[in-house]
Amino acid sequence: MKNILILSSKNGSNFEAIIKYFKNRNDINFKLLTDNKDAYVIKRAKKLAIEYICLNKEEIKEFFLKNKFDFVVMAGFFKILDKETIETNTFINIHPSLLPKYKGLNAIEYAYVNNDTKTGITIHYANEYVDEGEIIFQKELKINPDWSLRKLEKEIHKLEHYYYPRIIEKLLGLNVLVVGGGAREHVIAQKIKESNLLDTLYLADCNDGFSSLGNKIEYTDYKNLALQAQKRNISLVVIGSEEYLANGLVDILNKYKIKTIGPDKNFAKLESSKLFAKKIMAKYSIKTAPYKKITSINKIDKYLSYFKNPIIKANGLAKGKGVYLSEDISSLKKELVYFLNGKYGISSKTTLIEERLYGEEISLFSFWDGESLLHFPLCRDFKQNEKGENTGGLASICPIELDYMTNEKLNIYKEKLLKLLKKEKIKTPFIVYSGLIIARDDIYVLEYNVRLGDPEAQSLLNYIQNDWLEVFYMCSIKALSSIQLKEGKKPITTIVMTSKGYPNEIKKGVEIKNIVPLNNKTKIYFSNIIVSDGKILSNGGRVLSVTSDNRSDIYKTLNDIEFNEKEYKILDS
C-alpha cells in the first residue's frame, strides 16, 4: 500500500481530480491535510470518503516530523513550509505557469494582462522557496487572444486536472503489461524492465525465451485480460503485434479506462486493410503506387495488363509475407490464383495489384499521442531472402541517413502524415510505421503498420538511449512534446536467425544450444522458442535475433549457436 498525503488550503479541485483518477486503485491510501477549517476541499473530502485533518502551522511541522508518506502532493496549499519540514518527505507541487516565469500568486492573471501568447503548467519537486525545485513536467498552452481571463483560468485548470494525477502515477511507479510473444515484444519488455519508472512488469502471450522478465498473465479472452489488468492496477499496456490491434484489444482496454499504446479496431485498418490505407493516402495526397483491387480469378489477365511491372499484395494481415514479387508474369499469375483462393485466408481473398516501385526502402517510426507526432531515426528492414521471397524481416539497421533533398521530401511527407492524423481525429495513442521507398525522385508509401516492426524494433530501441518506459507512458498521456530523443553514438544492426525453409515449411522442435551473447553489447531476443525438459527448442520460422553495434560480434554469436536448421542473412559490410 502506498500512502499519499494531499495538502490543500481552499477549493480543492485538483484534490478531487486526483482522487477520482485513482478511484479504481486498491493499492493507494489517500489522506487530506488542510490548514483552513473552512476550506471547501473538506466538503470534497467528505463526499469522496477521504480521511482529512486540519492543523495550524506549528502542528503541521510536528506532524511531518512524525509521519512519512510516499509523496506529499501540494494542491493549492498556501503555507510556506520551512526547510526542516520539507526535508521530512518528498513534496511535489503544481503551478499555473511555465516556471521560472510568474512565481507565486496570480500567475494566470499576469500572463493574461501581459498579453502573453503562451503559458502553461509546471509540476515540480518543492523546496523551502516559493515555486522552485527541480522541474518534473511542463505543459504549454497557447493563449487565444479572444479568451477572457475566466476562459484562460478554465483552460489552465483543465491541464492541471488532467496531467497532475498522471504525473503522480508515473512518480509512484508504473505497472506495465506487454502483450505479444516475438523478439519485438522481448526487446520492449527488456527496455521497460530496465526503467527506474517501473514498479511491476506483466507479460501476456510471451514466449519462453523472455517469460522470466515479468509476471505472466493467462487469460481467456480480451475482456478477461482487461479485468485482470484492472485488478493488478496496470497503468499501461503496450501491444506488440498487429493481430491484437486488428481484433479490437484496444477497444476493450479503453472501456476499462486502461491506457494503451495502439489504435482502436477501426483505425487499425490502416495496417489490416491495404485498401483502407490506399484510400486514406489518396484523401491526403500521400504518394503511393497505382493499384487495382481484385477479387475474381476471371479478371487476372485484364488487371495485370494495366501495369508494366506488377506485384501483388494481400489486402489483409499475412504476418509480413502477403507480398509477391516476380519479373515472370506467368509465375505472378499462378501466385495470384493462390492468393485469391485463400493462401492467406480471408486476408488474400481480396488482393491488390500494384505497379512495382524500384528504389531504396526505409522505415519511419512515429509515435502519435493524440496531439503531436514524435519521429524517430530512420531504419532499414531487409525482408527478402536469397531466393527473392518476402519474409517477416531478416535484418535491420538503425539509423539510416538521407541526402539533403530526399530529407526535405521526407519532411513534406511528415507534414502530410500529421495532417492526416489530426483531420481524422485519431485520439488513441499509437505507433505509425511508414514503410517508405525513395523512387522516381520522391518519397512513396509502400505500406502502413500501426505498431513497431520486427526486426526494426530491436535496432531502434537499442539505438535510442531514452528511458523507453517514459517514452511509452508520455505517449499514452498526450505528453510526447516533453520527450527529447537521445541518440546513440554508433549504428545498431540486428540479424535474425531463422529455421531452414522459412518463410515456407520449416521444422519445429529442433534443439538449440550455446545461446550465449559474445559480450554485454551483444543482445539476443527470442522470437519463437519453447523450453521443454530443460531444452530450448525452435517453434517457428524466425527463431531469435542478435543485435549489436558491431556486426562481427553478431555473426560470431550466430556462428557459435548450435542449431541444425540455422539460417541467417549476410549483410554487405
Neighbours of 490 (CB within 10 A): 10
pLDDT recorded at residue 79: 85
> Looking at 154-230, which runs of residues are DSSP E strands?
174-179, 198-204, 215-216
The mean pLDDT value for 528-550 works out to 96
Q: Which three cell numbers stand for residue 332?
A: 505472378
For residue range 193-234, list pLDDT tens digits in order: 999 999 999 999 999 999 999 999 999 999 999 999 999 999
pLDDT band at 573 (very low <50, low <70, confident <90, very high): low
3-class state of residue 276 by DSSP? helix
Q: Which three cell numbers stand for residue 219?
A: 487469460
Q: How far is CA 440 from CA 378, 401, 437, 527, in A?
A: 20, 19, 9, 36
What gap in Å lies between CA 107 and CA 99, rounded to an integer?
A: 10
Q: Which three cell numbers stand for residue 208?
A: 519462453
Is the C-alpha dihedral spanning 409, 414, 415, 419 positive or negative?
A: positive
Q: Are 547 and 558 in contact (CB under 8 A)?
A: no
pLDDT band at 318 (very low <50, low <70, confident <90, very high): confident
For residue range 129-172, list pLDDT tens digits in order: 999 999 999 999 999 999 999 999 999 999 999 999 999 999 99
Please determine, looking at this structure, whether the domain spanning 2-167 carries the CATH number 3.30.160.150. no
What gap in Å lies between CA 515 and CA 459, rounded to an integer?
A: 19
Q: Which three cell numbers stand for residue 103?
A: 512565481
What gap in Å lies between CA 431 and CA 239, rounded to an integer?
A: 10
pLDDT recorded at residue 214: 97
Which residues sit opposite 381 in a β-bridge?
A: 396
Q: What value, to the nearest 5°, has the Cα angle with vertex 288 and ends 282 and 290? A: 90
Q: Are 85 and 64 in contact (CB under 8 A)?
A: yes
CATH 3.90.600.10 positions along the chain are 492-568
The model carries a pTM of 0.94
Nearest CA among 473, 423, 485, 420 for reference residue 448: 420
User: What topology does CATH give the domain 492-568?
Assistant: Glycinamide Ribonucleotide Synthetase; Chain A, domain 4 (3.90.600)
CATH 3.40.50.170 positions along the chain are 2-167
pLDDT band at 190 (very low <50, low <70, confident <90, very high): very high
Poorest-pLDDT segment among 118-127, 321-330, 440-449, 504-513: 321-330
What gap in Å lies between CA 115 and CA 145, rounded to an integer?
A: 8
Poorest-pLDDT segment among 116-125, 327-336, 533-542: 327-336
What gap in Å lies between CA 474 and CA 468, rounded to an integer?
A: 10
Q: What is the mean pLDDT of the chain?
A: 95
Asked if pLDDT for residue 546 goes beyond 90, the answer is yes
What gap in Å lies between CA 18 and CA 77, rounded to an integer?
A: 15
Q: Are 525 and 544 in contact (CB under 8 A)?
A: yes
Poorest-pLDDT segment among 367-376, 380-389, 441-450: 380-389
The mean pLDDT value for 333-344 works out to 92
